[in-house]
């Protein structure tokens, strides 16, 4: 399988106070993540994907409510943000098959969800532009971290285990695919979210969206019940 072609070097240069706050905040969180996880990339992925799946749902909720209040069209934002949240949850469901979190990490996930959900909800209410810029920068960092994870696999420090079944099914990966291919496709997802969120932040500043990396194809999740014939 050829790896999804993405531009790994995309970086939105902070322009203005809102961007600088967003970038500083993300760099601070990166410092804590690097200190806490060091090179335990599997564990890092599990814990951080539980956080990464939050902003899309917050953005979708608040845009949904805004469109109801204003009785206006959402220009495709709500579905895009819900898809992002679902995609990030599938990253979590994939990596939980690769690394099992410790009890302490599970505690961190619960605590971080309370704090981060409320924080991001508040931030989105105050400045949706800054909130989308924060996500754009988070995703820049995610692309970097998954590139480090690939190097770790290539240099033999992380075992290139078989891809979990859930990943084969979700991204339609060929039988025999390995963790390396999973990390590549996840990284391409992150690059897509990166560009979409920087694009949303740009749009809120009245600027053009810019280039958007394509989203790797994945299946649409279906409910486990059938409607009556
Ligand atoms: Fe992710
Ligand atoms: Fe992400």
CA of 174 to the centre of ligand 2 (A): 23
CA of 68 to the centre of ligand 2 (A): 28
Residues 6+ away with beta carbon under 8 Å from 136: 12, 22, 194, 195, 197, 198, 201
Distance CA 55, CA 137 (A): 13
CA of 47 to the centre of ligand 2 (A): 12
CA distances, 157 to each of 37, 46, 143, 192, 197 (Å): 15, 18, 19, 28, 33
CA of 26 to the centre of ligand 2 (A): 13
Up-side HSE of residue 98: CA atoms within 13 Å toward CB? Answer: 30
DSSP 8-state assignment for residue 169: H
CA of 195 to the centre of ligand 1 (A): 14
Among the bound ligands, the one closest to the CA of 191:
2
Among the bound ligands, the one closest to the CA of 88:
1
Among the bound ligands, the one closest to the CA of 26:
2
CA of 205 to the centre of ligand 1 (A): 26
CA of 70 to the centre of ligand 1 (A): 32
CA of 27 to the centre of ligand 1 (A): 17
Tokens 């760099």 label which residue?
A: 27
Among the bound ligands, the one closest to the CA of 138:
2
CA of 71 to the centre of ligand 1 (A): 32
Q: Using an 8 Å Cβ cutoff, are 209 and 199 in contact?
A: yes
Q: Using an 8 Å Cβ cutoff, are 101 and 49 in contact?
A: no
CA of 229 to the centre of ligand 2 (A): 38
Helix (H, G, I), strand (E, B) or coil at 220: coil
- Token pair for 100: 């099992």
Which pTM was predicted? 0.95
Among the bound ligands, the one closest to the CA of 186:
1
pLDDT at 3: 67
The alpha carbon torsion through 192, 194, 198, 203 (nearest 10 deg) reads 30
pLDDT at 37: 95
Buried b (16+ CB within 10 A) or exposed e, 140-157: bbbbebbeebbebbeeee
CA of 46 to the centre of ligand 2 (A): 12
The residue ranges of the chain whose pLDDT is under 50 are none
Nearest to residue 58, comparing CAs of 153, 136, 135, 165?
A: 135
- How many beta carbons lie within 10 A of that of residue 193, not counting itself? 27
CA of 184 to the centre of ligand 1 (A): 11
Name the CATH code of domain 17-204 (choices 1.10.3720.10, 1.20.1260.140, 3.40.50.300, 3.30.930.10). 1.20.1260.140
Among the bound ligands, the one closest to the CA of 193:
2
Q: What is the pLDDT of residues 208-225, one digit of tens each?
A: 999 999 999 999 998 889
pLDDT at 229: 75
pLDDT at 2: 56
């Amino acid at each position: 399988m050829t790896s999804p072609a993405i531009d790994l070097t995309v970086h939105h240069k902070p322009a203005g106070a809102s961007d600088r706050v967003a970038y500083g905040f993300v760099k601070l969180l990166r410092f804590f993540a690097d200190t806490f996880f060091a090179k335990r990339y599997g564990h890092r992925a599990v814990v951080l994907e539980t956080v990464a799946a939050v902003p899309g749902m917050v953005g979708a909720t608040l845009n949904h409510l805004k469109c109801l209040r204003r009785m206006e069209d959402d220009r495709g934002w709500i579905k895009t943000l819900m898809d992002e949240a679902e995609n990030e949850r599938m990253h979590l469901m994939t990596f939980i098959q690769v690394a099992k979190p410790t009890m302490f990490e599970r505690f961190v996930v619960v605590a971080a969800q309370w704090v981060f959900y409320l924080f991001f909800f508040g931030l989105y209410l105050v400045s949706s532009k800054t909130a989308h810029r924060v996500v754009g920068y988070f995703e820049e960092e995610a692309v970097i971290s998954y590139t480090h994870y690939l190097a770790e696999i290539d240099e033999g420090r992380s075992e290139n285990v078989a891809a979990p079944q859930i990943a084969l099914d979700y991204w339609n990966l060929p039988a025999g695919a390995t963790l390396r291919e999973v990390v590549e496709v996840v990284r391409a997802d992150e690059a897509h979210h990166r560009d979409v969120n920087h694009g949303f932040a740009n749009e809120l500043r009245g600027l053009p969206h810019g280039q958007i990396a394509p989203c790797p194809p994945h299946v649409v999740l279906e409910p486990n019940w059938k409607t009556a014939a």
